[in-house]
A and B are shown apart, each in its own frame.
Chain A
Amino acid sequence: MTRDEIRDRVLTIFAEEFEIVGPGLDDDLREAHGFDSIDAIELLREIEDMLGFELSQEQKKRAMDNIRTLNQILDYIAGLAPEPA
């Protein structure tokens, strides 16, 4: 998937699952949209569905610790996208 395709998929998830429509790519999602840790866990599940494989606990913890914006989410997914060895 290209970054644009991933962005479109993630924006669709945000609109349909979290009722967050058209967020800025660098918005602090918690501050600007009330996107909390429960939502982040749900998003990871959606990402697993999107990628078609299960993320490891370490991969998930890294996301929970570091990600605040949509651009960071896109970077994170891009880093996961290559098939795991």
Chain B
Amino acid sequence: MERRVVITAASAISPIGHTRDEILHSLQNGVSGVQPLRDDGLLSDHIHSQVFGTVSADIPFDFERKYRKTMGPVAFYACQVVKEVVEQAGLSPEQLGSGRLGVAFGSTHGSPTVQRGIYETFFSKSGKRFASIGAVDYLKSMVHTTAVNITKMFGITGRVISSSTACTTSSQSIGFGYEMIRYGMQDAMICGGADEYDTTTVAVFDNLLACSTAFNDTPSKTPRPFDADRDGLVVGEGAGAVLLEDYESARHRGADILGEVVGFGCNNNGGDLIFPNVDGITATLKIALADARLDPGDVDFISAHATATKMGDVIESQAIRNVFGETTPMVSGLKSYMGHTMGSCGAIETILSLYMMAEGFVAPTLNLDSIDPRCAMIRHTPGLADYPLKVVGVQNFAFGGVNTCLLIRKM
């Protein structure tokens, strides 16, 4: 059995806004969500990259204590976007608890804020160090904390998948959720990812010389995907959730259909854990097209992973050219607006693509002032333009050599 899978609700908390209108306004007006790195009293003084894709929306998390007590900041983000998705779709408690609706949701590493508190107890000179590790600290910080706080809050009894594959966390969530429904294992899946404000992630990339450092005084000028002056990625925070449903049941209940997931490609480079691999990425894009039974010419727009690292953008450009030939789809790197929102980037970039698809426009890569000649063989979105999007590709690649490509069609 192969069923059609549609997206019937979406919500994001992003550095460029929380509501759909805020995010559209930022995309249509070139507004960046990159801000100065906050002083965290620990690492921020030692990090060269002093910028961060920061969520500035004032979000009132009105969760009861019985839910809050097992949530770190990452789970607050996750549960908030899922709450909005559940409300948008009008899902009933019976549907949520049917066992036929599951959750695919993850984060890069649970809650680093809570983990930091746990580590501090080990270095504490206080005699009561063990007692000071809270009973709920593991539940708040564990890798699948987002997924199971979601199941708890909404009484969801179906499958739980909690990918934690760094930058492909939430694109895998959507892809694996799509496969759950397509092959009849579940009828609906709430899919996405979240990551909280965290300086340890910045420090990791900073140590690898992968972070942007040349624009600390002008945060909105970085990251600069595909630009000749790009100097690395900008770590960010956020969350994104989509509801995937079997098309027939979505149609039967009269749901708004935002798009159809028609293809998913996922593979591994089978080698280096850091450097992107043109053969691996090329294969991913081909797998997604084959899964969707689409030709390269059917794709109108690509939301590139485009982190703005020196080599990553070149290799992604080469892979796009390999697959799509001389006339590639229009390509934008949406991280140019928000930084790299880590475990949530695949979901957030999917949601931004859905919004643009619905509104019939494409946003160009921000800060792309002078295209790097090594990235010039693809068709960069020339500027903000009305453009009817029929099929969109969302590409994401992660440390560990994991690659994903989602293909989404307007219905």
Interface of A toward B, CB cutoff 8 Å? 18-19, 34, 36, 38-39, 41-42, 45, 48-49, 54
Contact = CB atoms under 8 A, between A and B. Distances in A.
Nearest to B133: A45
Interface in B120-141: 128, 131-132, 134-136, 139
Interface string B134-175: 111001000000000000000000000000000000000000
Interface residues of B, number: 11
B65 interface: yes
A57 to B, nearest CB: 11
A19 B65 contact: yes
18 contacts: A18-B65, A36-B66, A38-B69, A38-B70, A38-B135, A38-B136, A38-B139, A41-B135, A42-B134, A42-B135, A42-B136, A45-B131, A45-B132, A45-B134, A48-B128, A48-B131, A54-B128, A54-B131
Interface string B308-341: 0000000000000000000000000000000000
A30 to B, nearest CB: 12
A18 B291 CA distance: 50
Nearest to A20: B65
B136 to A, nearest CB: 6
Given A45-B131, A48-B128, A48-B131, A34 B66 contact: yes
Given A39-B69, A42-B135, A48-B131, 19 more contacts: A18-B65, A19-B65, A34-B66, A36-B66, A38-B69, A38-B70, A38-B135, A38-B136, A38-B139, A41-B135, A42-B134, A42-B136, A45-B131, A45-B132, A45-B134, A45-B135, A48-B128, A49-B128, A54-B128
A21 B79 CA distance: 26
Contacts of B70: 38
Dominant SS among interface residues on chain A: helix
B139 to A, nearest CB: 8
A19 B65 CA distance: 7
Contacts of A18: 65
Contacts of A49: 128
Contacts of B66: 34, 36
Nearest to B128: A54
A39 B69 CA distance: 9
Q: Which 3 residue pairs across A and B have the least CB separation, nearest first? A: A41-B135, A19-B65, A42-B135
Contacts of A38: 69-70, 135-136, 139
A18 B64 CA distance: 11
A2 B65 CA distance: 31
A26 B276 CA distance: 63
Contacts of B134: 42, 45
A17 to B, nearest CB: 9
A20 to B, nearest CB: 9
A36 B69 CA distance: 11
Contacts of B131: 45, 48, 54
Q: With a 10 A CB-CB cut-off, give which of B70, B132, B135, B139 has the most chain A CB atoms.
A: B135
Contacts of A34: 66
A38 B140 CA distance: 12
A38 B138 CA distance: 11
B404 to A, nearest CB: 35
A48 B139 CA distance: 22
Nearest to B130: A54
Nearest to A18: B65
Nearest to B127: A54
A19 B132 CA distance: 20
Interface in B78-134: 128, 131-132, 134
A26 B139 CA distance: 30
Nearest to B70: A38
Contacts of A19: 65
Nearest to B135: A41
Contacts of B132: 45
